[in-house]
Structure 1
Amino acid sequence: MSVSTPGAEPPGAQVPPHGPRRWLGLLVAVALVSGGVAYTVEERERDARARPPATVSPPGANQVTKPSKTAAAIAARRLAIDTILIRRAQAVQTVDEALFLQDIDPADRALRAEQKVLFANLVDLGFTELGYSQAEERFDPEVVKAHGRTTYLVRILMRYQIPKVDLAPVTTELGYTFVNVRGRWVLTDDDDLDEDLGPGAHQEAWDLGRIEVLRAPRVLAVVEKGDTRRGRAIVAEATEALEQVTAYWPRRWRGSVLVIALDETDVRDARFADEDIESAASAGSTFSSLPGQDTADGTVAGAYIVVNPNERDRVDEILLSHEITHVATADLGGYEPLWLAEGAAEYVAWRGIEAISGPGEVGKWEQEVIDEALPALGALPSDAGFYQNNADVYGVSWLAVRFLVQRLGLDKVAELYEDMARHGIDQASRDRILFSRSGLTEATLWTSLKSYQPQR
């Protein structure tokens, strides 16, 4: 069991939007159809020209509006695509690979091979809930040029629940390209929309090559297929880290932890550039409702941990206790200031270091923060530019939380955190909450830190 100073997240990886993070409902039943209706731009224009001029019926006359060819074609297409999406989810739940591949373009061998890998990954994760639904149609002339005039490009919502990890179903997004081949709709591409989707879309662990899933009672690790030894080590370290979070943070969180440790620099919303070796891991949000769906900011359901591929051999319980603290507080709302979020995570991690090495190591770092980090700043670290700041913003954030724990007690600080996370929507709200619970504003907390002399 090694001891290491908790690593910083990659720039921007932990910045929560100012607001919480409902999903458009999945169709529960769709009549199965064997084919679809192709509807092209030319046919739409021809339909419009052939439509008779509008007439005005006498008052009181019964009026029956016949659906246009356009509307009928669109409805038929939507029914066909909904049917395909339902089949895909059903195939995973029933472990039926042939059914999963039934609607893939038979001429695209590469796509079929990729979809086989995807299917195996989804089966290994063992979702308790899985469904796909159409969001809105998109248009890209280059995609139409590549796939033909029947091209249908659509944003897809994937709603799923990993057992024990996701306390409620969560949503991610995909972009699918369908074409009509001899009266039958088939999936011909799944990445044409990637650049237009939200951060991390189509970059989930199951999208990035064959994976291996290892489980413990409250931990699930995802590694490259065959990387079993590393996966077992991560499960062991995460289990210890979970015990530390339970011991050192008062909130009784009943969730489990998903740790993703793949040989990929872009996973979910984590971005680990090759030179970004100091960023050991990131906890990225999961959403029950995506930003822009029901609210601008969406609704956060929890978080998954992604490990920097360059740091996979150095993952330990100290690093993971920091990240698991983020996971354990992710569903509270996301309005808390970053100095409080990161300070609380560092507080838990350093309590773990103290349990291993004694108070001397913690006292030494505390003095370094007072002597070196505090003079480099003029206020508590702000959310803007937090992860790009060259100063020791993690150390100062930790010191602020440590000071508040000594002043109020840990339980009161945890209550402060929850109140901030739920209601700290702007600076005035944050100051009001902080003052009502501690007698301090951020400005007076900073002044107190500048004159703080810890007792040894």
Structure 2
Amino acid sequence: MSRLTGAGEQRGAEVIDEQGDTMPLPAVPPAPHPETADRVDGGRRVPPTFGPIVRKVALGVAVCLVAGAGYAGLRQIADAPADPGVPITAESPQTSTTPDEAAEGVRRASVGGAVLQKMSTAVEDESRSAFLATVDPQATEFRESARTIFANLGKLPIASFQFRYVSDDTAALTPDRQAALGGSESWLAQVEVSWQLSGYDAKPARETLPVTFVTRDGTTYAASFSERFVAGQRRPIWALGPIDVAEGDRSLVISLDSEANAESYVSATDRAVESVSKVWGRSWRQKAVVYLPAKQAQMEFVLGAQPNTYTQIAAVTMAELDTPQAGAPVRIVANPKLFDELGRQGRKIVLTHETTHVASTATASPVPLWLAEGFADYVAFTAVPVQDESAAKELFKAIRAGKVPTALPAPEAFAASSSELPQAYESAWLACRLIAEREGQSKLVKFYRAVHASKSPTGLADAFKSVLGMTEQEFVAEWQQYLKRLAGV
């Protein structure tokens, strides 16, 4: 897979209809709003649509991606207008402006928050009946979903679960929808939800979901937690249907696929964690969380992606947080159909590559894409050795045709639309392998860490000099000779 900067995934306020797969979200007590932070490089990594190379993974091409889709700005989503033509801005939430309207907004927030508080207490008390008592008695489908989500939460090792009523938009519900809801009042609110998996997350995951409230006979209920989603708005995996959970020594697999063997993913991920630690070191949490949707649409819901974005993508690494930062909860999201087709060797390569991104916090790193992807492939191919001719087939073919790379792959080379995407990955991998062969594996790790930790715009050039004792230009010249020798030119 490849990774792009967040600029490629910047979405407008297009509202998309619920497709029937989303389950309701249990709410919890109010939590303080997280500090907002500037997006790194527009949101950092964004998943492109991947082409035919995906199916070559078993031959040595790592199928992986650091997904910036998980970085859809929380404030953008929370404040998104119902009208697709109205721009999204963090400073223009859909709230009232007159004193009377402002007071009504405060009242709605208080009433809605009280409903969510009751739901929270019911979850904490493990009281299914109390939880369902907060659900609109006329919302038949929502009640069934609520039963599922309540059961899902009981299967997860949740250390904390919190919500914050962000904003509401009284115009978001159409007159027909309001008439269908009935009652004396109904409205749509955006609610920030956060949860933390015990033993896996240093910080809570955060998402924002649309919550519909309705008041009837003097009582306010939750009528839907999936009324209208803004394009790019992520959905928790545990809100998409019944889940199975399997846990290993170093991994947690959360599966929506009842036919998948979650235990087999656990053992494979445990081995991937160990393989990564042998190269990267053990100064990381040494845990990985794998999401296993039952179908591609669910994968795209989790990532906040447009429909059919991931038709040819086997796995994605994403941060489940509104801002790209160190410590963000990171998930490996698999496309089960493609993942199963890879075979045992291909799955091991993919999981090791993705777990390398988890260990190196690649979702919030300033390292250039060639280094992040090349290093992840280096670790994966160290764990699962492959023949150079298979792993670098497209690159060698180009070199034998006289097309020797003139520079290390630029970010745009990893775009889905790039005609030389395979070569970008293959040449990045061999650049990292050259460093390891020339200086030793520990120096490769030191080089990566130096670039990752640098606060300077010249961090890469500085690392070339301080760690490798050469300029990038000198390295490129040596790398070109290395590639030609491997290709037999």
Band the TM-score falls in, shorter-chain normalisation: 0.7 to 0.9
Q: Are 1:241 and 1:321, in contact at CA under 8 Å, matched by a contact in 2?
A: yes
Q: Which of residues 166, 172, 175 is equivalent to 2:210?
A: 175
Equivalent residue letter for 1:170: A
Q: Which of residues 46, 58, 66 is equivalent to 1:14?
A: 66
- Structure 1: runs of 5 or more not aligned: 24-43, 49-67, 292-296, 355-360
Kindly tell me: are residues 4 and 87 of structure 1, through their superposed partners in 2, closer, same or farther at Cα, counting changes over 3 Å? farther
TM superposition shift of 1:139: 5.0
Q: Which of residues 333, 338, 346 is equivalent to 1:311?
A: 338
SS in structure 2 opposite 1:448? Answer: helix
The aligned runs of 1:129-208 (5 Å cut-off) are 129-138=160-169, 140-143=171-174, 145-147=176-178, 150-196=185-231, 198-199=232-233, 201-202=234-235, 204-208=236-240
d(CA) in 2 for partners of 1:349 and 1:8?
A: 10
d(CA) in 2 for partners of 1:270 and 1:405?
A: 37
Kindly tell me: are residues 5 and 271 of structure 1, through their superposed partners in 2, closer, same or farther at Cα, counting changes over 3 Å? farther
- Structure 2: runs of 5 or more not aligned: 1-56, 76-95
Q: Which of residues 407, 426, 436 is equivalent to 1:379?
A: 407
TM superposition shift of 1:78: 1.9
TM superposition shift of 1:109: 0.1
d(CA) in 1 for partners of 2:293 and 2:431?
A: 34
Q: Which of residues 278, 295, 301 is equivalent to 1:247?
A: 278
The answer for the alignment partner of 2:319 in structure 1 is 285
TM superposition shift of 1:455: 12
SS in structure 2 opposite 1:260? Answer: strand
The answer for the alignment partner of 1:431 in structure 2 is 461
TM superposition shift of 1:14: 2.1
Kindly tell me: are residues 409 and 250 of structure 1, through their superposed partners in 2, closer, same or farther at Cα, counting changes over 3 Å? farther
Q: Which moved more, 1:273-282 or 1:246-255?
A: 273-282
d(CA) in 2 for partners of 1:335 and 1:236?
A: 31
Kindly tell me: are residues 409 and 274 of structure 1, through their superposed partners in 2, closer, same or farther at Cα, counting changes over 3 Å? same
The answer for the alignment partner of 1:413 in structure 2 is 444
Kindly tell me: are residues 425 and 337 of structure 1, through their superposed partners in 2, closer, same or farther at Cα, counting changes over 3 Å? farther
The aligned runs of 1:77-88 (5 Å cut-off) are 77-88=108-119
Q: Deviations over 1:7-41 (max 9, x none)?
A: 323xxx52559x99999xxxxxxxxxxxxxxxxxx
d(CA) in 2 for partners of 1:69 and 1:368?
A: 68
The answer for the alignment partner of 1:218 in structure 2 is 250
Q: Which moved more, 1:102-111 or 1:140-149?
A: 140-149
TM superposition shift of 1:150: 3.2
Q: Are 1:89 and 1:132, in contact at CA under 8 Å, matched by a contact in 2?
A: no
Q: Deviations over 1:290-322 (max 9, x none)?
A: 13xxxxx56661311111132242363222111
TM superposition shift of 1:332: 7.7
TM superposition shift of 1:378: 3.9
Equivalent residue letter for 2:248: A
Kindly tell me: are residues 76 and 409 of structure 1, through their superposed partners in 2, closer, same or farther at Cα, counting changes over 3 Å? same
Q: Are 1:342 and 1:397, in contact at CA under 8 Å, matched by a contact in 2?
A: yes
Q: What value does the CA root-mean-square deviation take over the aligned residues?
A: 3.5
TM superposition shift of 1:113: 0.8
Q: Are 2:439 and 2:468, in contact at CA under 8 Å, matched by a contact in 1?
A: yes
Equivalent residue letter for 1:227: E
SS in structure 2 opposite 1:151? Answer: strand
The aligned runs of 1:24-423 (5 Å cut-off) are 70-138=101-169, 140-143=171-174, 145-147=176-178, 150-196=185-231, 198-199=232-233, 201-202=234-235, 204-224=236-256, 226-227=258-259, 230-266=261-297, 267=299, 268-269=302-303, 278-287=312-321, 290-291=322-323, 301-313=328-340, 314=343, 316-330=347-361, 333-354=364-385, 361-365=386-390, 368=393, 371-372=396-397, 375=403, 377-388=405-416, 389-391=418-420, 392=422, 393-423=424-454
SS in structure 2 opposite 1:167? Answer: coil
Q: Are 1:131 and 1:158, in contact at CA under 8 Å, matched by a contact in 2?
A: yes
Kindly tell me: are residues 16 and 174 of structure 1, through their superposed partners in 2, closer, same or farther at Cα, counting changes over 3 Å? closer
Q: Deviations over 1:277-299 (max 9, x none)?
A: 65321111122xx13xxxxx566
Q: Are 2:60 and 2:391, in contact at CA under 8 Å, matched by a contact in 1?
A: no
SS in structure 2 opposite 1:252? Answer: coil
Q: Which moved more, 1:395-404 or 1:91-100?
A: 91-100
TM-score (norm 2): 0.70
d(CA) in 1 for partners of 2:131 and 2:221?
A: 12
Q: What is the percent sequence identity of the aligned residues?
A: 22
Q: Are 2:276 and 2:356, in contact at CA under 8 Å, matched by a contact in 1?
A: yes
Kindly tell me: are residues 366 and 174 of structure 1, through their superposed partners in 2, closer, same or farther at Cα, counting changes over 3 Å? closer
d(CA) in 2 for partners of 1:351 and 1:366?
A: 12
SS in structure 2 opposite 1:301? Answer: coil
d(CA) in 2 for partners of 1:424 and 1:213?
A: 39
Q: Are 1:7 and 1:281, in contact at CA under 8 Å, matched by a contact in 2?
A: no
d(CA) in 2 for partners of 1:387 and 1:317?
A: 24
Kindly tell me: are residues 101 and 224 of structure 1, through their superposed partners in 2, closer, same or farther at Cα, counting changes over 3 Å? same
